[in-house]
Amino acid sequence: MCFDGVMQVVELRKWSVRCEPDLTREAYALMDSGSAEACGCEECFNFAATRHLVYTPKVLELLEWLGIDPLLEAEARHDACLGGGRHGYTVCFYLVGEIASGPATPVARAGARTAASLESAGEGSAVGFCTGDDPPEAFKGLPVVCLEVALTVPWVSNAPEPELTG
């Protein structure tokens, strides 16, 4: 694989990912909004409203290091109502790069996340890398990796909470 910028390597327990943060930042500069705003459903509205509250310092540091804009997720998925006003979400971001070693398959699809598939990032969050199967237009034609972030998010919407599911 050929990269045009400055390649860096991130090691996260079971993953080693070669990435280009500068190219990733350039791609994010072409994006207007995250998927939570584009969707319009109540669960995505809730995520967009809480986005500034839910990323741990570790996750924000990782996103910055990788060149990812935390406001421009490619997907925000409501996985479960956990009770007590807490909800499980999985948020997906893309970055320019490749998985050098470690699992290269989706690790948190459709609420199937488990402690074994993701690595803890503290305070109810976990992260993992997988192959990127449907990147945003800004990443089309580039070698990509998907970073999945599992989060516990408070329900702040005025709409009724979804039913308890997990």
Rounded mean pLDDT, 91-103: 92
Q: CA-CA distance, 28 to 40, in Å (whole number)?
A: 21
The per-residue pLDDT for 165 is: 60
Whole-number percent of the chain with pLDDT over 70? 84
Count of residues for the chain? Answer: 166
Report yes or no: 72 and 148 within 8 Å, Cβ to Cβ.
no
Tell me which of 13 and 113 has the higher pLDDT.
Answer: 13
Q: CA-CA distance, 71 to 78, in Å (whole number)?
A: 17
**What are the structural domain ranges in the chain?**
8-154
3-state secondary structure of 21: helix
* Residue 22: how many other CB atoms lie within 10 Å: 16
Rounded mean pLDDT, 84-103: 92
pTM for this prediction: 0.87
Residue 166 has pLDDT above 60, yes or no: no
Average pLDDT, the chain: 85
The per-residue pLDDT for 105 is: 62
The per-residue pLDDT for 112 is: 47
Rounded mean pLDDT, 136-156: 93
Radius of gyration from C-alpha coordinates of the chain: 15
Q: Which residues contact 156 (CB under 8 A, 6 or more apart)?
A: 46, 49, 50
Interaxial angle between packed helices 21-29 and 57-66, expressed in degrees from 0 to 180 and rounded to the nearest 10: 90
